[in-house]
Every structure is written in C-alpha cells, then in structure tokens.
C-alpha cells in the first residue's frame, strides 16, 4: 500500500466517524467539516466523535465503539506518516516515540516549544505527536500500542483499567478548581445541581468531566440514574448545548473558557464547591515504559522544565498555546490563569485520591468492576 492510499483510507474512515472539531472559539459550534488532518511533521489529529442520540440514556457500547474506531484511525494516520516520502534518510534510523496529547495540556506546550524533539533526536528517537479530542480515545490508542505516552484527567485511566486496557500511571499534575465545570445557560430554570433530576446533561464518557458530574450529583443527594447523560465529543456537546438540545453540560478547559466567553452561562458546580478535586496524570504504555524508562524520565523532565518556564513567561505562553491550538488569545489567557503547573511524583496521597475517584464510579455503577489503582502504577521520576 502506498502512502497516498493509506491516507485515502484513513481519511475515508475518519469522514464516516466524525466531522472536524474546527478551531476552538472560531467558527460557530456544530460546524461539521473534515475529520482528520496530518502534517508533514508526522502529527495527526483525531478530532470529533459522532453525535449520539440525545433522547434517553446512551449505551456505553456506543462510547466504546467510537473510542475503538478513533484509535484505528490514529493507527492508520501514524502508518501514513511512517510511509510519507517527506521522511529523511536519517529519520529512518530513529526509534519513534508516539505521544498523545489534547488541546491546552502540558504536552501542548512541549510540542509547541520543540525542545523535546531536539533532545530525543540526539538520543536516537523521533517524536510523533497525535492530537485527541479527549482522554478515553487516547488511552484506547495506547492500549492498541499506537501511543506510548499521554496525558489525561483522572477518569480515563480508571475506565481503561476497568476495561482491562494496558496503561500505567507514571506521574501526576495538579488541576485548578475552576478548570472544568457543570454549566447551564444563564437564563435556565435549573438553579442548582438538585434541579438536574430528569434533565439531560452532555459530557464525554469516561472523561474528567464524567467524574465531576457523578460527584456533584452525589453531593446534592442525587444518583447518577436521576439524570439523562448524553455522551458527546466537546464539539458536538457545544452544538447541542447552545441549541438547547441538552439542558446542561459538564466540560473542561479550553472548551469551558470558549463557551464562557461566547455564551452567557452559569456554573452549577466545579471543584471549588466542596467536591474533592482529583489529579491529572501522565500515562504510559507498560511495555514501552519497561523498555525505555530513561526516555520516559526525559519526557517528564522536559514537561517540568516547560511548566517552570510557563510560570514566568505567561505572555509568551499565551501566544504559543494560541498558535498551537487555534484558540483565541483572550480565551487562552482565561484558562491559563486558572491552571496549575508542576509534575508530581506518584505517592500514596495521590494514589489514594485516584482510588477514591475509582470507588465513586464503581459505587455509582458507572464502571463494571472495582479496580485497584495501585496495581497499574509505574512511577517514573523526571530527570
């Protein structure tokens, strides 16, 4: 199969799966354009999940189908990049590190700075960057062997472990209390989380916002079964929310900052409302971590250096992230101002926090079995 044919197959599959998210904060929500794009540098974007039926409860199988399909497309796009005639002769001799990232995360900064590519290139590794719209499809791709290192919120690895996927916790990072929220329109008759009973809530299944919804309902004395979850990608969820087809939306930055600037909304709950905040995590494919622990440590050290730089170069950081993600600078300024930075080594406190998140999901019958978070921890210290 030629590189051109691989691209055509990937593009055709992707067009069936989902339309493009488009630039966040750019065109009106709900615009459906192309589905996946690759770059000469070898990065590929997997951008949008299919919009699922808005009535009643959406079956978990649909979410899994999307996630599995998403990583298949990711594999095809990686294959296209590998076969591309734009590769140089020297690149053919390098090992490849596949990094999965999302908009606005620490790995976005690392990609924008380009420092990791240079450091690892000198050690015989080429870095291939693959963008995902959310954590669950990223970890599906990791389980399939097409992603070696990634970064997600707390829930995705819990769902992955419950589904017996091969992923491992490497290190953690703190999250800001206002970086995600459960929101309604400013003029909505829903005034509190308790008022959500019987209403529809848009969210990405298995994402960080899935936990916020479950925890907020529990705190308000409701059960997960008291609301009607609608599993949608961030782009589709925004379209459904702004058109009034769902009553509420639980979402993270930068998508949260985008909608807050574009539409009058009101926050029902975030992590400043008495809900214990989980951590975000750097995750790895166990086989890769075992074989290349030194490379993983180098990646984490580069993230830590980027985080340190970010705390003292905010204006430059805003410009870098805006250029990398297509998110307008005022929106980037908003979500970075409420973000926290710093790579944290895994410790009993962090793992216990993550175990509590897993137990909440199990008690709410959101995951099929109880998981032991510590069983898939492979701590790596930055160096």
Are 165 and 20 within one domain?
A: yes
Instruction: Copy the structure tokens of residue 311.
Output: 């705390």
Give the confidence band of 142 by pLDDT, cuts at 50, 70, 90: very high
Instruction: Copy the structure tokens of residue 356.
Output: 């509590």
pLDDT digits (tens, 9 = 90+) for 248-271: 999 999 999 999 999 999 999 999
Q: What share of the chain is helix, strand, coil (3-state, %, to 5)?
A: 45, 15, 35
3-state secondary structure of 267: strand
Give the confidence band of 23 by pLDDT, cuts at 50, 70, 90: very low
By residue range, what is the domain housing residue 62?
Answer: 3-176+279-376
- Residue 51 has a pLDDT of 37
Cα separation, 63 vs 300, whole angstroms: 30
Mean pLDDT of 29-34: 36
Q: Does the bond joining 254 to the residue before it have cis omega, within 30 degrees of 0?
A: yes
Closest by alpha carbon to 190, among 206, 176, 201, 179? 201
Rounded to 5°, angle at Cα 298 from 40 and 118: 35
Q: Which of 22-31, 304-313, 338-347, 348-357 is predicted with the least confidence, judged by mean pLDDT? A: 22-31
Burial 9-29 (b: 16+ CB within 10 A, else e): ebbebbeebbbbbbebbeeeb
Q: Which of 247, 269, 291 is the last residue of a domain?
A: 269
Are 19 and 122 within one domain?
A: yes
- Residue 340 has a pLDDT of 87
Are 161 and 290 within one domain?
A: yes
Q: Is residue 274 part of a domain?
A: no
Rounded to 5°, angle at Cα 83 from 78 and 87: 100
Mean pLDDT of 63-84: 45
Identify the CATH number of the domain in which residue 89 sits.
3.40.190.10
Residues 218 and 189: beta-carbon distance below 8 Å: no
CA dihedral 285, 280, 259, 248 (to 10 degrees): 100
Are 32 and 126 within one domain?
A: yes
- Residue 341 has a pLDDT of 85
34, pLDDT greater than 60 = no
355, pLDDT greater than 80 = yes
* DSSP tag of 190: -
Sheet containing 200-203: give its strands across.
228-231, 200-203, 248-252, 180-185, 265-269
């Amino acid at each position: 199969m030629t590189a051109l044919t691989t691209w055509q197959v990937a593009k055709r599959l992707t067009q069936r799966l989902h339309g493009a998210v488009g630039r966040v904060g750019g065109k009106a929500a709900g615009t459906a354009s192309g589905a996946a794009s690759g770059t000469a540098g070898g990065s590929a974007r997997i951008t949008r999940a299919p919009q699922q039926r808005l009535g009643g409860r959406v079956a978990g199988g649909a979410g899994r189908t999307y996630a599995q399909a998403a990583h298949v497309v990711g594999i095809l796009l990686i294959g296209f990049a590998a076969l591309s005639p734009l590769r140089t002769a020297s690149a053919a001799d390098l090992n490849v590190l596949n990094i999965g990232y999302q908009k606005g995360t620490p790995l976005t900064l690392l990609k924008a700075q380009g420092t990791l590519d240079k450091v690892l290139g000198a050690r015989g590794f080429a870095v291939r960057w693959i963008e995902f719209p959310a954590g669950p499809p990223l970890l599906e791709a990791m389980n399939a062997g097409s992603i070696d290192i990634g970064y997600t919120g707390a829930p995705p690895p819990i769902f992955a472990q419950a589904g017996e996927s091969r992923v491992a916790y490497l290190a953690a990072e703190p999250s800001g209390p206002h970086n995600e929220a459960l929101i309604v329109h400013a003029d909505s008759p829903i005034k509190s989380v308790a008022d959500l009973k019987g209403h529809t809530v848009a969210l990405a299944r298995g994402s960080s916002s899935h936990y916020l919804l479950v925890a907020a309902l529990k705190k308000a004395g409701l059960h997960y079964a008291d609301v009607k979850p609608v599993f949608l990608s961030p782009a589709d969820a925004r379209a459904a929310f702004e058109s009034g087809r769902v009553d509420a939306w639980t979402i993270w930055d930068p998508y949260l900052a985008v909608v807050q600037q574009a539409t009058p909304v009101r926050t029902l709950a975030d992590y400043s409302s008495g809900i214990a905040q989980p951590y975000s995590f750097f995750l790895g494919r166990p086989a890769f971590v075992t074989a290349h622990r030194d490379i993983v440590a180098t990646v984490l050290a580069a993230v830590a250096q980027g985080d340190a730089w970010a705390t003292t170069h905010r204006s430059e950081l805003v410009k870098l992230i805006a250029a990398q993600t297509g998110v307008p600078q005022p929106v980037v300024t908003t979500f970075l101002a409420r973000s926290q930075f710093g790579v944290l080594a895994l410790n009993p406190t962090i793992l216990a926090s993550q175990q509590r998140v897993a137990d909440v999901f199990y008690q709410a019958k959101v995951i099929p079995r109880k998981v032991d978070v510590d069983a898939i921890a492979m701590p790596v210290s930055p160096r």
